Amino acid sequence: MSFISAQNLTLGYDKTVVTENLNFKVEKGDYLCIVGENGSGKSTLMKTMLGLQTAIDGQILFGDGLMKNEIGYLPQQTIVQRDFPASVYEIVLSGCQSHMGLRPFYTEKERALASKNMERMDIYDLKNKCYRELSGGQQQRVLLARALCATTKVLLLDEPVSGLDPKVTHEMYELIKDLNDSGVTIIMVSHDISAAVKYASHILHIGKALFFGTKEEYVASKVGKFFLNMEGGELV
Amino acid sequence: MIEKLIEYFQYPFVVYAFIVGTLIALSSSLLGVTLVLKRYSFIGDGLSHVAFGAMAVASVLKFTNQTVLVLPVTIICAVFLLRSGNNAKIKGDAAIAMISVGALAFGYLIMNKFSTSANLSGDVCSTLFGSMSILTLTMTEVVICVILSVIVVALFIFMYNKIFAVTFDEDFAKATGVKADTYNFIIAIMIAVIIVLSMNLVGSLLISALVIFPALSAMSILKNFRSVTIFSAVSSVICALAGMLISILAGTPVGSTIVAVDVFVFVVAFFIGKGTGGKA
């Protein structure tokens, strides 16, 4: 069975249907990119996968040893976070909450896990820095380290490069690729079709045109060709 | 001056006032950081008006212990306000404003129409501004206050890491299996308890100040959550003590004096923060 499989999924909010008849699968080790125009339901799909909202119809099944709350999540910045007084270490450590249950305090094991993930994301020297004073790229690394504390099975990334400059964007994509190579399954929501085609193993295109398949199939498909020719692959 | 203080401290009600004042300052500052960051700065104001309304009803119905009615009503409103924040038709700030103004109006209406007291405006004034009610505490009230604030502080310490996770990123916490809704619920109850407690000290109008100022002072100079929390607790207690001392010596109203000291500390912290490059 696959890690995640969606069957005849209908998504939306307040009974307004945004997308219908979604079918796709995510296998262990995949790198799935979800692309589509604004308003096509990318965020809604993501929230549904995370269990933050329910699907109107159809279902999402988890299998192959993946539990529902074992999906790490890299959210877009919220207003709350922009002036939150917290150190990098405090934020990364908070990712460990997922396996704490009712236990109130962190143990040595969790502190070690946080340190390990900060090293992995190359932010260990920023440990005591204040989150709001970091650059956009550094902040994303902090949130990635936090997500890795929660799980190393699946990471769901919501527009991880939005607002980053080209150099940092490139570094971010390489970092995500490294994670994927080391066995972390990646699901990424993105506007950037050219990067999606470069890095992903599978593409899910939602919106007016629906497509799900491997990257090679996508490039050869009608939908893929159309969007890749449009504005160099940037969906606006 | 010192003789005057020694003289005052021989009265048990002054000692009671200091015990209660310190505890309330401590518990109200703890959740301040969370409330300010979640954009709920005004929840203190809204809930205290609810408590005012409930108090008016309780006094008209001649309840001997008003807390029996005031506390549950305030808790219900707190839970409602914090829940509706996420995906309600009426957004957080509007909901708070609505409840706050509505409860205030109803409270005053009921007091005005049914009150048997001869000095109505005096009653209203002391409920709103706290005035001297902290100097008329009974032993039972002091004990209730001590028990409730110990519970609030203990809960806060045990939930500290969860509160951090839920405040910083509720969606992430939920997605990775943290019971965010449960913790928000407990936070709402704690806030309601704190507000009903603080009404004795500063009255309903000044409660927001007690919740917000220590948090804002701490946030302008410090840069991680733990030190912000500790600083706001310590500064809140010190401001409350200083405010009470000044009010005894200068004969000023207790609640307003404490808030004035809080404002002073905030202004100092703000400029220190600017000077050291912290975010103001």
Distance CA A229, CA A233 (A): 6
Residues pairing with A12 in the sheet: A17
- pTM for the model: 0.85
Q: Are residues A147 and A81 in the same domain?
A: yes
Total count of domains within chain A = 2
Residues A85, B223: C-beta atoms closer than 8 Å: yes
Helix, strand, coil share (%) of chain A residues, nearest 5: 40, 25, 30
Distance CA A11, CA A44 (A): 7
Question: Does residue A168 fall inside a structural domain?
Answer: no
Interior CA angle at B25 toward B20 and B29, to 5°?
150
The edge-to-edge listing of strands for the beta sheet with A4-13 is: A16-26, A4-13, A57-62
What pLDDT, in 10s, does the model give residues B24-79? 899 989 988 888 888 777 887 888 888 888 888 887 887 767 777 888 898 888 88
What pLDDT, in 10s, does the model give residues A209-219? 788 888 888 88
- All domains of chain B, ordered by start, with CATH? 2-275 (1.10.3470.10)
Share of chain B above pLDDT 70, in %: 86
For chain B, report the end-to-end CA distance as a whole number of angstroms: 37
Say which of B37, B159, B164 has its CB closest to residue A94. Answer: B164
Which of B172, B183, B217, B228 is the mutation pick for testing A, counting most A CBs within 10 A?
A: B172
Q: Are residues A41 and A158 in the same domain?
A: yes
Asked if B91 reaches chain A (Cβ–Cβ under 8 Å), the answer is no
Q: Are residues A66 and A158 in the same domain?
A: yes
Distance CA A94, CA B53 (A): 40
Q: Are residues A60 and A107 in the same domain?
A: no
Asked if A91 reaches chain B (Cβ–Cβ under 8 Å), the answer is yes
Tell me the CB-side half-sphere exposure of residue A21, using CA atoms within 13 A. 5
Indicate the burial class of B194 (C-beta count within 10 angstroms; 0-12, 13-18, 19 or more): buried
Question: Does residue A170 fall inside a structural domain?
Answer: no
Closest CA to A180 of A161, A194, A199: A199
Residues B37, A84: C-beta atoms closer than 8 Å: yes
Which residue, A107, A132, A152, sits at the end of a domain?
A152
Question: Does residue A46 fall inside a structural domain?
Answer: yes
Asked if B215 reaches chain A (Cβ–Cβ under 8 Å), the answer is no
Count the residues in chain A.
Answer: 236
Q: Are residues A59 and A83 in the same domain?
A: no
Say which of A75, A104, A130 has its CB closest to residue B223. Answer: A130
Residues B167, A80: C-beta atoms closer than 8 Å: yes
What pLDDT, in 10s, does the model give residues B199-219? 766 677 678 888 889 999 999
What pLDDT, in 10s, does the model give residues B106-144? 888 887 887 666 666 766 776 666 655 566 677 887 888
The whole-angstrom distance between A213's CA and the closest CA on chain B is: 26
For tokens 């796709």, what's the residue?
A24
**Average pLDDT in the B183-203 region?**
83
Say which of B158, B228, B279 has its CB closest to residue A132. Answer: B279
Is B43 in contact with B78 (CB distance < 8 Å)? yes
What pLDDT, in 10s, does the model give residues B206-255? 788 888 899 999 998 998 999 999 999 999 999 999 998 998 888 888 88
Asked if B276 reaches chain A (Cβ–Cβ under 8 Å), the answer is no
Distance CA A89, CA A79 (A): 20
**Quick one: tokens of B91?**
């957004």
For tokens 């799909």, what's the residue?
A45
Q: Are residues A128 and A158 in the same domain?
A: no
**pLDDT of A91 above 50:** yes
Interface of A with B in 127-146 (CB under 8 A): 128-130, 132-133, 146
Question: Does residue A35 fall inside a structural domain?
Answer: yes
The whole-angstrom distance between B157's CA and the closest CA on chain A is: 8
Say which of B161, B171, B222 has its CB closest to residue A105. Answer: B161
CA distances from A228 to A34, A173, A195, A231 (A): 15, 19, 11, 8
Asked if B3 reaches chain A (Cβ–Cβ under 8 Å), the answer is no
**Quick one: tokens of A82?**
């922009």
Distance CA B280, CA B276 (A): 10
Task: Check residue A88 and give its pLDDT.
Answer: 93
Task: Check residue B86 and give its pLDDT.
Answer: 56
Task: Check residue B280 and give its pLDDT.
Answer: 39
Three-state secondary structure call for residue A24: strand
Q: Are residues A48 and A28 in the same domain?
A: yes
Domain range for A109:
77-152
Q: Are residues A2 and A63 in the same domain?
A: yes
